[in-house]
């Protein structure tokens, strides 16, 4: 009898925690899609599809209120700051009284939603990446957590010349897709993402990768690493015939992003 009670309590706890995570992600999804305020049909469909795929987590009254609020907000094709605040307010109002997640985890779940929202229509623009940059800079308490530091480095590199070229578009889409629940997408082109993954590889720097040709290639390191000093990384690259560059620039062959030891570092390869 006790085991059945424990199993019931576990399922109850799990559903509530998933419910809170879903609300955090929805907040991010709304903010990500609404960064440029304008909405297209794909973005509206993506929100509706995401909610329908999360309906098992919502009670009927909550589900209906969310759908009605979103319907009113999305009908004119414009998502104003006030409308975004209204939707976020509903999400916060429905959250459970129990605090399953700390502020770091909650905001990382919101970041997951933002990345999903930006990718919702399959197109990236400078305004969206600028909006992501603003959100990241407003949430500096996430420093040292993955993928915050990597994202900051990546978007600063992309925004340096004020435009997104085709290679940067591929890198952003591949990186964003790593943190999105792709089971809840309707419009993100999964075949395109898989194609880009074959062209743009993200590898751990601590892993041996025989495909990386160091000799004559330009490398830059950004972020922090507890595994090696910056001077050690520079020395390894130069000993193997590579060129170590101090600043991020467009002609780099490899951008090494350190994550302070929280996770393995990453290498972005320019093809």
Within 8 A by CB and 6+ apart from 214, the residues are 237, 240, 241, 242
pLDDT of res. 6: 37
**What is the CB-side half-sphere exposure of residue 176 using CA atoms within 13 A?**
29
Which domains does the chain show, CATH number per domain?
A: 2-124+164-198 (no CATH), 202-269 (3.40.50.10190)
Beta-ladder partners of 222: 257
Q: What pLDDT is stored for residue 210 in this prediction?
A: 44
Omega into 138 within 30° of 0, i.e. cis? no
Contact residues for 12 (Cβ-Cβ < 8 A; gap 6+): none
Token digits for 135? 């959100």
Instruction: Please tell me the distance from the alpha carbon of residue 138 to that of residue 195, in angstroms, as a whole number.
Output: 33
Supply φ then ψ for residue 244, to 5 degrees.
-95, 125
**Contact present, 173 and 193 (Cβ < 8 Å):** yes
pTM here?
Answer: 0.67
Query: In angstroms, how far apart are the furthest CA atoms of the chain?
Result: 68
Q: Which among 59, 47, 50 is positioned nearest to 19, based on CA atoms?
A: 59
Burial 165-204 (b: 16+ CB within 10 A, else e): eeebbbbbbbbbbebbeeebbeebeeeebeebeeebeebe
Nearest to 83 by CA among 93, 68, 94, 69: 69
Q: What is the pLDDT along the chain (271 residues), one digit of tens a residue?
A: 444 333 333 334 346 778 788 888 888 988 888 887 777 888 888 887 887 777 777 677 777 777 788 778 777 777 777 887 888 787 777 766 556 678 888 899 999 999 999 998 888 999 999 999 999 999 999 987 878 888 888 888 888 888 998 888 988 998 898 888 888 888 888 899 889 888 765 543 333 344 567 888 888 887 666 556 778 788 888 888 889 988 777 778 887 766 554 433 445 554 3
Tokens of 105: 């985890």
- The DSSP result for the chain, as a single string, is -HHHHHHHHHHHHHHHHHHHHHHHHHHHHHHHHTTTSB--HHHHHHHHHHHHTTGGGS-HHHHHHHHHHHHHHHTTSB--HHHHHHHHHHHHHHS-SS--S-HHHHHHHHHHHHHHHHHTTS---HHHHHHHHHHHHHTGGGTTSTTHHHHHHHHHHHHTTTS--HHHHHHHHHHHHTTS-GGG-SSS-HHHHHHHHHHS-EE-TTS--TT---TT-EEEEES--SSS-HHHHHHHHHHTT-EEESS--TT-SEEEE--TTSS--EEEEP-
Q: Give me the residue label for tokens 């909405």.
A: 39
What's the pLDDT score for residue 247?
A: 78
Provide the pLDDT for residue 152: 86
Residue 130, pLDDT score? 94
Predicted pLDDT at 42: 85
Q: Residue 12 has what pLDDT?
A: 42
């Amino acid at each position: 009898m006790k085991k059945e009670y424990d199993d019931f309590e576990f399922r109850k706890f799990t559903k509530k925690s998933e419910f809170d995570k879903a609300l955090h992600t929805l907040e991010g999804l709304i903010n990500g899609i609404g960064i440029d305020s304008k909405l297209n049909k794909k973005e509206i469909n993506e929100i509706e599809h995401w909610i329908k795929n999360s309906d098992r987590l919502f009670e009927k009254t909550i589900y209906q209120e969310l759908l009605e609020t979103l319907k009113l907000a999305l009908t004119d094709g414009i998502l104003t700051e006030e409308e975004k605040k209204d939707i976020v307010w509903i999400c916060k109002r429905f959250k459970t009284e129990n605090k399953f997640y700390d502020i770091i985890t909650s905001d990382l779940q919101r970041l997951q939603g933002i990345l999903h929202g930006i990718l919702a229509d399959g197109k990236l623009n400078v305004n969206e990446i600028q909006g992501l940059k603003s959100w990241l800079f407003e949430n500096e308490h996430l420093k040292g957590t993955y993928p915050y530091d990597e994202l900051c480095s990546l978007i600063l590199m992309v925004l340096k010349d004020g435009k997104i070229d085709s290679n940067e578009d591929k890198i952003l889409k591949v990186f964003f897709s790593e943190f999105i629940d792709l089971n809840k997408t309707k419009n993100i082109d999964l075949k395109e993402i898989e194609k880009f993954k074959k062209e743009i590889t993200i590898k751990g720097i601590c892993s041996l990768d025989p495909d990386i040709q160091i000799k004559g290639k330009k490398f830059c390191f950004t972020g922090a690493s507890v595994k090696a000093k910056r001077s050690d990384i520079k020395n390894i690259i130069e000993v193997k015939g590579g060129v170590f560059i101090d600043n991020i620039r467009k002609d780099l062959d490899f951008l090494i992003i350190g994550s302070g030891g929280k996770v393995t570092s990453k290498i972005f390869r320019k093809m």
